[in-house]
Structure 1
């Protein structure tokens, strides 16, 4: 049962579930798609997250009661959708797991009692779901990191994490779209820009997408635009 609550005069928040899970993430993705279609030009912003969807609308295009009615219709439409009827999206991201990019590989391997090669294999074999975009524009939170690789965040965050870095913490993997401070354990780096100015959402990946990491060597990483001189 999807719950709806008004936040202010032009914003609603909808809750498809209460727990972070693959099932709830799929509900969030379906609901987001249905709301975009239902609200159309009335939509100002939509922010899907782990268990919720925040919706802002233009009061000059439709009043609050009309929007409420459209949101209820979007809920009905989303509940009628299945995973197969949605536009399936799997995003493949090249990742260099070499020592210049995987800043915490030695620590990760030691804490997890694995070799670096085993760490790379386990991390890149998993298919991840995008659970949320936040912290900074385009910062993607992905689950679930394989059980053998689950490790706590750093006790002291770095002041600078290079753009494109992949970090792991507990059961999640995150992608840093820009150079920012951060406390995740850095396991590799993608050469691709995570901000996509030509897309509707401005990000390369969106909530509900599936993501797979493809290991590449140093030369391929650099040829694709990757940088190793940011620290």
Structure 2
């Protein structure tokens, strides 16, 4: 039986497991399932896994593995360990719970300066954009760009909007944006070109906490519209 995945070296201390090239929830479940398997049953020298849309980067300590018996290279040994865990995973049923994180968002105004532009580009009212954007659960495919920034796919084509031609120099932490058919949340103040339609008072990046990021790949999020008063209340509590 042919494999539905491939291994590629990333330098001398990491392997990239490439699943299918199509971005979908089905493929990403394979990515997150393999990451969970390695976290529960790591091989000698394993350090961590970094999931993405259709691939999983597996990092290991080259020195801790040393010269493995029966293998010409460390890369071959690691690939063998990964093959074993892929076979184990294939025999299990997917019993992952549908974990949804509630993200309160104050849309429009100073919190979402691009809401009207997104509505106009899609021939909708601002309230329609809010209703559509907050009307479903979204899968977090990856964390990156900035600490705790969730790359979230699958927003409806009705509100899909291209990035700005000229990025802003500073976007406030918590800003919720749209770029094409993706949506995301800026965890820290940073430049960016996404269309900002709202802001959450939740802290996505908390350096003093363990883990330091609120969200992780494989979770789902649902945006919940709130008013400015509730935004300020939550922000003052410091969640």
Give SS of 1:141's match.
Answer: strand
Q: Where do 1:62-77 residues align within 5 Å? A: 62-63=65-66, 64=74, 66-77=77-88
CA-based RMSD of the aligned residues comes to 1.8
* 1:111 paired residue number: 121
Give SS of 1:208's match.
Answer: coil
CA contact (8 A) 1:38 1:70 kept: no
Q: Can you list the C-alpha shifts for 1:167-223, whole angstroms capped at 9, x where unaligned?
A: 1011110111101110000011111111245344x3222111111111111111111
* 2:219 paired residue number: 209
The answer to whether the aligner puts 1:97 opposite 2:107 as a matched pair is yes
Q: Which structure has the bigger radius of gyration?
A: 2
The 1:87–1:111 alpha-carbon spacing in structure 2 relative to 1, beyond 3 Å, is same
* 1:7 paired residue number: 10
- Residue from 40, 44, 64 that aligns with 2:47: 44
| Distance across 1 between alignment mates of 2:165 and 2:11 | 38
- Residue from 53, 57, 67 that aligns with 1:54: 57
* 1:181 paired residue number: 191
| Distance across 1 between alignment mates of 2:36 and 2:77 | 19
CA contact (8 A) 1:92 1:212 kept: yes
Q: Where do 1:120-159 residues align within 5 Å? A: 120-159=130-169
| Distance across 2 between alignment mates of 1:214 and 1:43 | 38
Give SS of 2:109's match.
Answer: coil
The answer to whether the aligner puts 1:224 opposite 2:234 as a matched pair is yes
CA deviation after TM superposition for structure 1 residue 59, in Å: 2.9
* 2:22 paired residue number: 19
Give SS of 1:219's match.
Answer: helix
CA deviation after TM superposition for structure 1 residue 87, in Å: 4.3
| Residues paired across the two proteins, number | 224
CA deviation after TM superposition for structure 1 residue 31, in Å: 1.4
Q: Which runs of 5+ in 2 are unaligned?
A: 67-73
| Distance across 2 between alignment mates of 1:74 and 1:199 | 27
Q: Can you list the C-alpha shifts for 1:103-154, whole angstroms capped at 9, x where unaligned?
A: 1011111111111111111000121011111112211110111111011111
TM-score (norm 2): 0.87
Q: Can you list the C-alpha shifts for 1:59-78, whole angstroms capped at 9, x where unaligned?
A: 34334355333211221233
- Residue from 84, 89, 103 that aligns with 1:78: 89
CA contact (8 A) 2:139 2:220 kept: yes
CA contact (8 A) 1:98 1:218 kept: no
| Distance across 1 between alignment mates of 2:97 and 2:89 | 13
